[in-house]
Amino acid sequence: MPYNTPAPDFALLAAFDAREWAGVDVVRYNATNISLPTYATGAGVYEDGLFFLNGRGVGDNTPTDAMGTLEEALQTLKTFGTTWTIELTSADKIKVTSDVQFRVTPLDDDVLGLGTTTAVADGGNYSVTASADWARGLYSGERYQFDDLGGTSFDAFRAALNRPWPAQDVVTALRERGSGDADDLAPTNCLEELIRTQAGQEIRWVLNNDGHVEVWYMNTGLFSWLSTSFRARLGFNGREDAEAMGSTATDYVARIVAANPMPGALFPSRPFQDHHYSVESVTQARRKIGGGYTSNLIGTYTTSALSFDLDALLDQRDLYRHFTDEFVPYAPNGERVNFYQGWGDSRRSLRSALVSFTQQPYDLIYTSEDNGDQGRLRCSLVSSNYDLAYGSLKRRVPVGMRLEHL
Q: Where are the domains of the chain?
A: 11-264, 274-343+375-405
- More confident of the two residues 393 and 110: 110
pLDDT per position as a tens digit, 302-350: 999 999 999 999 888 899 999 999 999 999 999 999 999 999 999 999 9
**163, 251 Cβ separation under 8 angstroms:** yes
Instruction: For 58-202, list the strands marked E by DSSP.
Output: 84-88, 94-98, 103-106, 117-118, 120-122, 125-129, 144-147, 153-156
The pLDDT assigned to 149 comes to 83
3-state secondary structure of 34: strand
Is the pLDDT at 150 greater than 80? The verdict is no
Is the pLDDT at 258 greater than 70? The verdict is yes
pLDDT tier at 65, thresholds 50, 70, 90: confident
Q: Distance of CA 218 to CAs 26, 30, 110, 212, 274, Å?
A: 18, 9, 25, 20, 43
* Torsion angle defined by CA atoms of residues 35, 40, 45 and 49, in that order, rounded to the nearest 10 degrees: -30
pLDDT tier at 191, thresholds 50, 70, 90: very high
**60, 100 Cβ separation under 8 angstroms:** no
Q: How much of the chain, in percent, has pLDDT values that exceed 70? A: 97
- More confident of the two residues 251 and 215: 215
- DSSP result, 218-270: ETTS-EEES-HHHHHHTT--S-PPPEEEESSSSSEEEEEE-SSPPTTEE--SS
Q: Distance of CA 69 to CAs 74, 131, 175, 299, Å?
A: 9, 22, 6, 41
User: Rounded to two decimals, what is the model's pTM?
Assistant: 0.93
290, amino acid identity: G
Question: How far is the C-alpha of 61 from the C-alpha of 48, rounded, in Å?
Answer: 25
Length of the chain: 406
pLDDT per position as a tens digit, 218-229: 887 889 999 999
pLDDT per position as a tens digit, 5-24: 777 899 999 999 999 999 99
Compute the average pLDDT of residues 355-364.
Answer: 96
- More confident of the two residues 209 and 250: 209
341 — phi, psi (to 5°)? -65, -25
Worst-scoring range by mean pLDDT, 24-28, 160-164, 273-277, 322-326?
A: 160-164
The pLDDT assigned to 247 comes to 61
